[in-house]
Chains A and B, each alone.
Chain A
């Protein structure tokens, strides 16, 4: 956790990529997150996060197929790296630990 910072929004995007598996490309990620967060997101914000995540080594990507709906342009399918999986696990562990402490206090 020390070396690489993962922003809150970036974490959400990263998780969404993992959830969507083969369908993880820009518009789909945007839709999924919009539904889950119940708020409008711009293409720009999603794309910036994706590019940054890729730069930081959390994501890899490759071109997928083109559809007429996209005006013949190819999709770029994103996939999480093992490193991302590990970082997410770590974050989760830290959070769980924190939540656990709160629960104990409440009981006491």
Chain B
């Protein structure tokens, strides 16, 4: 048997054995193992013998045979580690105040970081649960007129989906969603009352919806629930609302009084991390009677999602997509001097990166906010680490003797650095543990306060836990390295003689850190001011109309329009008898609600180009009730029959259609010479249809005395509840088939700012935390200064110094630092604030007052922090300090 071709046992188990097994047993056991291996070779294959060898080796690692584990080269490393640990704990307990300040700051910083981390993780998780999320794209569209970008539209034409499937080999599926299912839905159980609700999250969708998206279908076959006309899938909670415990499948849900839809499936309520949120989905097939969708290249209300083949190249798809409309609508573009370009966004990106897309679904486009919050959280953590550095170096004086003794006994610099890093690690680990624990308690109140749905479950992923571990290590290194360096560099002889501390040098670095902390705090405070001021500015901005005391009812919906208008007459009459109702207007849109009605119009000045304007149908009372001034011409008048072909323009629309002034537009025509010609009888003041973050829209008002989606009632302020109750009872009498659904216009309008208000709240919270943590650090520092200088203070007092002099002496240094911090912070804050304001269409001014108040606030807080301790030191009896020796 030659040595070379002799099969050998595997290497790693042998190494394992050599590491673990006691030296005195090793030869015997190695021999036994090899012998067993040779025996096994005669019975089994080489592979199996090796496998058995490995298994046996693992089984050998048992207490009786294993050596006592020591790091054999440095037998006392573990013991030293134990000692560091013990000393750290003793120091922690001995200096409770400072330890707790240190720990408290770290914990607060970490809680911020974790909360924001949870929020960011949740934001990043949007729309990742779809089966082919990585390959699902939404097709959206940029619309150009005269070569400039006019609108970015989230929905596109109904023909886009089918065309892509047919002409692009890389597209394997498409789903279109049409957001036009809203209205009154009702269900009458045999002999029971009519169950009716206004639905605001009802859409139409193509048959592939449940295949392409990961929404769970609880009942029904995903391929068939939307396959036929008038099939409807409802969410679990919607099913409960209409049908209670009955099985909804096969039941008839009536839409707008006439359309009968058959429930074909029940879906789970949509998860929080989906940009779509639907309660009712009915089949796109139901539209078949109304429009030739596959050939329609003009109606852009269809959200279109495509799935690409796994092998598809996205850039190639993008390029082809960009050119598609040029081919399909070439003639139209030429005639109108316009152009539209399709592009796609990954479904996972919709939530965070849809900034600027009009008519989008859900609240999208928060990427920059997330980065911003992340940065703020990190800053707070950094402030907390800085506290740690400051306090540890300040405390160095007390530790100097310990270090000196250690050095004399033989500790090297490296060992001392290691010791203090261990201590930092201990603090950071403890802080993370406490922070995570606190988070469990805080998460519910935080969710309530910010209207979020954060969950601790998000943290329990391996990558996140590793991240936490990383945070501990990085934190320990960042906060421990400098103190470790300072502490370990003391010269033992000087220390033990008592001349241990070179006050100037390390105080320099600490000064820089304090300046840094307070500069950040100042920037955050000023940021809070501007954010709050901007929100207040927006909310009190003159919107060009009056929304006060306006109660809005969602108009009854029924597809039998004639019947509805006779009931409207009755309702109007009834309202006139209620003294608290001072007026009523009917319109297709109201301020504060996104208007989907937009189309192209021409004028004398633009005979060959469609100029996009929003459409709103209103009755005579609309302008007076909302106090929108008529700038030129006149308002609609019902008695004038010619008004059925009349329109009003807002000033923006008059300008948009090329008229030099409001007066110039009156008497002119919209779409002159076409079948859809309208006479302009007046021009009204602009008003903000949506929040003033948006620009003013061009709007054309059409006359429609008795049809509209909203009935807006001006009511008297006193006893609104009774008025509403009175209106409701009349409503139920006249519209028993429609729910009484109302809101106050101003509240609804203000709800557009809900996200801003939440942002404010978060910002204020963080800014205060940052200042608090910074002050915590300041407090720790001043405490040490006082303690160190107790004797000095005592002597000064004996020699005749007054308390204010001593306070000035102690606190003066720190106040100087804070002033420097503000000088650093002001220009930075000014720059950031003006950048932030740039995003708003209407912005408030920054103003010097803000800086003065901000500075005053910081100085006040700092003085309060510093003076408490100094005052006590300054007023203490000097004997206490001096008699110790």
Contacts and interface: CB of A to CB of B under 8 A. Distances in A.
A69 B38 contact: yes
Nearest to A76: B28
Given A47-B65, A51-B64, A73-B27, A42 B56 contact: yes
B59 interface: yes
Contacts of B29: 26, 43, 47
Most buried by A among B28, B29, B33: B28
A27 interface: yes
A47 B30 CA distance: 11
Contacts of A91: none
Contacts of B31: 26, 66, 70-71, 73-75
Contacts of B60: 42-44, 47
A48 interface: yes
Given A51-B25, A73-B27, A74-B27, A44 B35 contact: no
A101 to B, nearest CB: 36
A20 to B, nearest CB: 14
B62 interface: yes
Interface string A21-36: 0000111001000000
B58 to A, nearest CB: 9
A24 B169 CA distance: 77
Contact of A75 (B28, B56, B59, B64): B28
B35 A27 contact: yes
A85 interface: no
Nearest to A52: B64
B741 to A, nearest CB: 76
A67 B30 CA distance: 12
A60 to B, nearest CB: 14
A76 B34 CA distance: 14
Nearest to A48: B64
Interface in A32-65: 42-45, 47-48, 51-52, 63
Contacts of A47: 25, 28-29, 32, 60, 64-65
B28 A43 contact: no
B634 to A, nearest CB: 102
Contacts of B56: 42-44
B544 to A, nearest CB: 87
A74 B62 contact: no
Nearest to B26: A73
Contacts of B39: 27
Contacts of B27: 63, 73-74
Contact of A71 (B25, B30, B59, B64): B30
Contacts of A76: 28
Most buried by B among A45, A52, A70, A75: A70
Contact of A73 (B28, B59, B64): B28
Contacts of B38: 69
B36 A43 contact: yes
A74 B27 CA distance: 7
B483 to A, nearest CB: 48
A70 B35 contact: yes
A72 to B, nearest CB: 8
B40 to A, nearest CB: 11
B32 A43 contact: yes
A69 to B, nearest CB: 5
Interface in B46-72: 56, 59-62, 64-65
B32 A48 contact: no
A32 to B, nearest CB: 13
Chain B binding surface SS class: helix
A102 to B, nearest CB: 36
A27 B65 contact: no
Nearest to B31: A73
Contact of B65 (A48, A69, A73): A48
Interface size class of B (residues with CB under 8 A): 20 to 34
Contacts of A25: 28, 32
Contacts of B64: 47-48, 51-52
Contact of A45 (B33, B36, B59, B61): B59
A74 B59 contact: no
B868 to A, nearest CB: 66
B35 A69 contact: yes
Interface in B4-38: 25, 27-36, 38
Nearest to A77: B28
Nearest to B63: A48
B32 A27 contact: yes
B769 to A, nearest CB: 57
B110 to A, nearest CB: 45
Contacts of A71: 30-31, 34
A67 B31 CA distance: 9
A70 B59 CA distance: 19
A50 to B, nearest CB: 9
B34 A69 contact: yes
Nearest to B1: A68
Given A26-B29, A51-B25, A51-B64, A44 B59 contact: yes
B713 to A, nearest CB: 87
Contacts of B33: 43
A51 B35 contact: no
Interface in A64-108: 66-67, 69-71, 73-76
Contacts of A27: 32, 35-36, 39
Contacts of B61: 44
A26 B34 contact: no
Contacts of A63: 27-28
A25 B35 CA distance: 11
A45 to B, nearest CB: 7
A29 B31 CA distance: 14
A47 B33 CA distance: 11
Nearest to A72: B31
A28 to B, nearest CB: 9
A48 B30 CA distance: 14
Contacts of A69: 34-35, 38
A47 B36 CA distance: 13
Interface string A12-26: 000000000000011
A70 B62 CA distance: 22
B764 to A, nearest CB: 64
Given A43-B56, A44-B56, A44-B65, A74 B28 contact: yes
Interface string B731-767: 0000000000000000000000000000000000000
A74 B32 CA distance: 9
Nearest to A46: B32
Contacts of B36: 27, 30, 43
A73 B30 contact: yes
A70 B453 CA distance: 65
B616 to A, nearest CB: 85
Nearest to B58: A44
A47 B27 CA distance: 12
Most buried by B among A51, A52, A74: A51
A5 B64 CA distance: 17
Contact of B62 (A26, A44, A67, A73): A44
B190 to A, nearest CB: 73
B34 A73 contact: yes
A103 B563 CA distance: 107
Interface of B: 25, 27-36, 38-39, 56, 59-62, 64-65
Given A30-B36, A42-B56, A47-B25, 18 more contacts: A25-B28, A25-B32, A26-B28, A26-B29, A27-B32, A42-B60, A43-B32, A43-B36, A43-B60, A44-B62, A45-B59, A51-B65, A67-B35, A70-B34, A70-B35, A71-B31, A71-B34, A73-B28
Interface of A: 25-27, 30, 42-45, 47-48, 51-52, 63, 66-67, 69-71, 73-76
18 contacts: A25-B28, A27-B36, A30-B32, A30-B36, A42-B56, A42-B60, A43-B56, A44-B60, A47-B28, A47-B29, A48-B62, A51-B64, A52-B64, A69-B38, A71-B31, A74-B31, A75-B28, A76-B28
The list of the 5 closest CB pairs from A to B, nearest first, reads A73-B31, A70-B31, A26-B32, A44-B59, A48-B64
